[in-house]
Every structure is written in C-alpha cells, then in structure tokens.
Amino acid sequence: MKVAVIYESRTGNTARAAQMIGAALQDLENEVGVWPTDKVNLDFLTDADLVFLGTWTDGLIIAGHRPGGSAHLLAMPGIWNKPTVGFVTYAFRAGKVVDKLADVVTLLGGKWLGGRAFQRDDLPDGVAGFVIAAVDAVEGVEVSG
Ligand SMILES: Cc1cc2nc3c(=O)[nH]c(=O)nc-3n(C[C@H](O)[C@H](O)[C@H](O)COP(=O)(O)O)c2cc1C
C-alpha cells in the first residue's frame, strides 16, 4: 500500500512518533511518505491508500484536551474519503483528544478508522502493534469493498 503519514508537532515528539510509524510501515513493505501538515506531497496523498494523521495534546492538563494545532490540521489538503488513522502524543493526560481528532479527520473528508494516544516518554511502546492493526483494518475495508 501507499501510506501518507502527516503530523503537526511543536517540540518534536509527534514528529518522532510519525517517523516511527513510517519506519514500521516501511518494515511491512509499504511505500511511505512522512510530512508535517504544511509540507504534504499532494501527488503522493492523492494516490495514498491509507493516511495517518497525528498531533499533540493541547489542554489544561486535567481538562479541555483538544488536538494541538487544529488550525494547521484543518488548513492541510483534504483527505478525500481515504481511510485515516489518528495518533496523538501527550505528557500526562490525553482525555478525549483522540475522539476530537476523529472530528478533525471527518471535517477534512477522511474516513476515520480509529486512533490512539502515545505517552511521549514511552515511545516507541505500542507503535508496531498500532501500525499492524491499522494496516489490517484498511486491508479488511478493501477486502469487504
Ligand atoms: C500549550 C500546551 C498545552 C498542553 N496541554 C497538555 C495537556 O492538557 N495534557 C497533556 O498530557 N499534555 C499537554 N501538553 C504536552 C504535549 O501534548 C506533549 O508534550 C506532546 O508530546 C507535544 O508534542 P510535540 O513535541 O509534537 O509538539 C501541552 C503542551 C503545550 C505546549
């Protein structure tokens, strides 16, 4: 498959998560592109079979969690009904940020497959399993039409 990994990152954690996801996808023999939201390769995205969209957790630590850099996420190219998986990084508590990222993906036109939050200091814990599950999910969608 052709897989686009797109991220928003202020201090590098989500960029690191995106690179790890990209490396795991490559290990599974997918063709992969990894970019920040403002540098997406449109030709690649147009042809992509699967999209990963990631960002950081913005909030008041205990409440008000939301996807960081939402304006940048919403300003990126549309996802045109492509299966899309979300990922976020956080420091202490992510709250419902993954659900809110699902809303952003829907606004961008993507087809939400699910997502997950990663504690920034525990990376790459969980990344490989997350990527395998996402690839299985999209292959299931394609098989069932
Ligand atoms: C303004 C601001 C608000 C944040 N709010 C939260 C929060 O509510 N909960 C949390 O767990 N982390 C919070 N964080 C931490 C970041 O989500 C975390 O460090 C993340 O990994 C940063 O990703 P980045 O390095 O890709 O920018 C906040 C960070 C910033 C700058």
Tens digit of each residue's pLDDT (9 = 90 or more) over 3-23: 999 999 999 999 999 999 999
Residue nearest to atom 18 of ligand 1 (CA): 90
Write down the pTM of the prediction: 0.96
Per the structure, the count of domains in the chain is: 1
The domain that contains 96 carries what CATH number? 3.40.50.360
Whether the Cβ atoms of residue 124 and residue 22 lie closer than 8 Å to each other: no
Does 61 sit in the ligand 1 pocket, CB within 6 Å?
Answer: yes
37 ligand 1 Cβ < 6 A: no
Please give the residue range of the domain that contains residue 9.
Answer: 2-143
Residue at token pair 């976020």? 88
Give me the pLDDT at residue 138, please.
86
Atom of ligand 1 nearest to the CA of 61: 8
Which stretch of DSSP H or E encloses residue 53? strand 50-58
Q: What is the pLDDT of residues 72-114, one digit of tens each?
A: 999 999 999 999 999 999 999 999 999 999 999 999 999 999 9
